[in-house]
Amino acid sequence: MRICLTAIVIALIANKIKATPVESRENEPFGVTEREQSSLPPVTLHGRLVYGRFPLLHFVKDPSPAEITQQVITSLRKFVRELKGFISPDTFRFVSFQRMAEHFGSTLRELEGLLKLGKHSEEAQQRLAYSKNLYLTMTRAAINMRRFLPLENTGNIAISHMSLIQLKALALYDSRGEFHTTLAHSVRRIMCLKQDVNSWEAAFNNQRNVHFLTELIFTDLVEKTRAQIRALENKIPRDREFWSQEGLPRDGDFFCLA
């Protein structure tokens, strides 16, 4: 009996000594293995930090205007491509719609960060073209969503995000494709977009929840800037003539893009 036990012990010791490096590595503590797997190259880690973790983009060094413009264009292209694929009748599924609705939030933060970074870029005309393309695509998406499914909570989320992106992106530009330099100009553009907000309600048959969402978005943008608008009235003569006493443009005094 002792001989058998001794033989078993010797066999176990020999097997332990002959264990391969791969087997030994599998028996290492979990924490060590986790550290090895998370040691990404510096470039990859930097990319994950910039695009995957933060709502607004951060860079180690200030990007050039050309780099900023390229990032804006790339982001808008990706978003437009995803929307076009999303509204395709052949590929539409409710699960896909739900996934896209959840994705709108992170996309909104990315676009806001890109637009802030691109504020000082010299190639505003290119971004204007993509913002118009984005607006037209979102309008088509709204019409298609109305046809595909009844407006419920998930639809409200997607619509509110798309409306907010539309207002924030287009309100940054003037008719020449340049960024607005004063708050008054930006709010002037937002007032022009009120007719687009009304068109969203018409596309969804003036349903009560859509009216609430669009009015909430529009009111928030105007109310938060009304005090600053009045301050600008005292500094800019032509704005004193343009704005009414309520801090809103007079009817017929502004030109809206088609």
Cα–Cα distance, 73 to 79 (Å, whole number):
10
Q: Which of 14-18, 45-49, 94-98, 231-235 has the lowest mean pLDDT?
A: 45-49
pLDDT at 73 over 50: yes
In this structure, the number of other CB atoms found within 10 A of the CB of residue 194 comes to 14
Q: What value does the mean pLDDT take over residues 86-115?
A: 50
Cα–Cα distance, 69 to 55 (Å, whole number):
19
Q: What value does the mean pLDDT take over residues 51-64?
A: 42
| Cα distances (Å, whole numbers) of residue 163 to 111, 123, 126, 218, 219 | 13, 25, 22, 10, 13
pLDDT tens-digit map of 183-195: 445 555 555 555 5
Tell me what pLDDT residue 37 has: 37
pLDDT at 197 over 50: yes
Q: What phi-psi label fits residue 20: left (phi over 0), alpha (psi between -120 and 50 degrees) or beta?
A: beta
For residue 68, give both structure tokens. 């900023």
Are 159 and 210 contacting, i.e. CB atoms less than 8 angstroms apart?
yes
Q: What is the pTM of this model?
A: 0.25
List the one residue out of 63, 75, 159, 171 whose CA is nearest residue 120.
63
Higher pLDDT, residue 154 or 14: 14
End-to-end CA distance of the chain: 97
In this structure, the number of other CB atoms found within 10 A of the CB of residue 169 comes to 23
